[in-house]
């Protein structure tokens, strides 16, 4: 099935698709799904070569809700669930000595994950 949604990418520098353990990739994907929300409207597309880059399609009608969640995450409200998920993703990156970023369909960075650079 092909999705006509808008593509979002979560890049994990520090692994390639061939070197990342499957269970670790699953952890990243679970947190990414939680961050994007809209469970019935966000779909896994592929893992791109190079750095591990998880691509997700967001159905057009769900995109405004997903972008609203990402704005909340970017604000960094300590009580917001979106901010907590960002911290969890960043914690994984620190453990993996990696960093990352989430980009939108326009290829602009929406969120930076400093990971190892935070130390």
* Residue 117 pLDDT: 86
Which strand (E) or helix (H) includes residue 47?
A: strand 42-48
Say if residue 63's pLDDT is above 90: yes
Look at 41 and 118; give whichever has higher pLDDT: 41
6-108 CATH fold: Alpha-Beta Plaits (3.30.70)
Tens digits of per-residue pLDDT, 24-45?
999 999 999 999 999 999 999 9
Three-state DSSP state, 24: helix
Look at 109 and 2; give whichever has higher pLDDT: 109
Look at the alpha carbons of 62, 28, 14, 113 in this order and tell me if their dihedral is positive or negative. positive
Distance CA 3, CA 15 (A): 27
pTM: 0.91
Q: Token pair of 16, please?
A: 């390639």
Domain limits of the chain?
A: 6-108
Q: For residue 50, what pLDDT band results from cuts at 50, 70 and 90?
A: confident
């Amino acid at each position: 099935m092909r999705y006509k949604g808008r593509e979002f990418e979560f890049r994990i520098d520090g692994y390639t698709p061939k070197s990342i353990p499957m269970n670790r990739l699953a952890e990243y994907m679970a947190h990414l799904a939680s961050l994007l929300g809209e469970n019935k409207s966000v779909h896994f597309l592929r893992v791109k070569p190079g750095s591990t880059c998880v691509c997700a399609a967001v159905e057009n009608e769900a995109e405004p809700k997903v972008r609203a969640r990402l704005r909340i995450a970017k604000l960094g409200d300590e009580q917001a669930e979106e901010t907590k998920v960002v911290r969890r993703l960043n914690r994984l990156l620190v453990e993996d000595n990696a960093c990352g970023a989430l980009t939108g369909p326009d290829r602009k960075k929406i969120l930076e994950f400093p990971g190892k650079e935070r130390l």
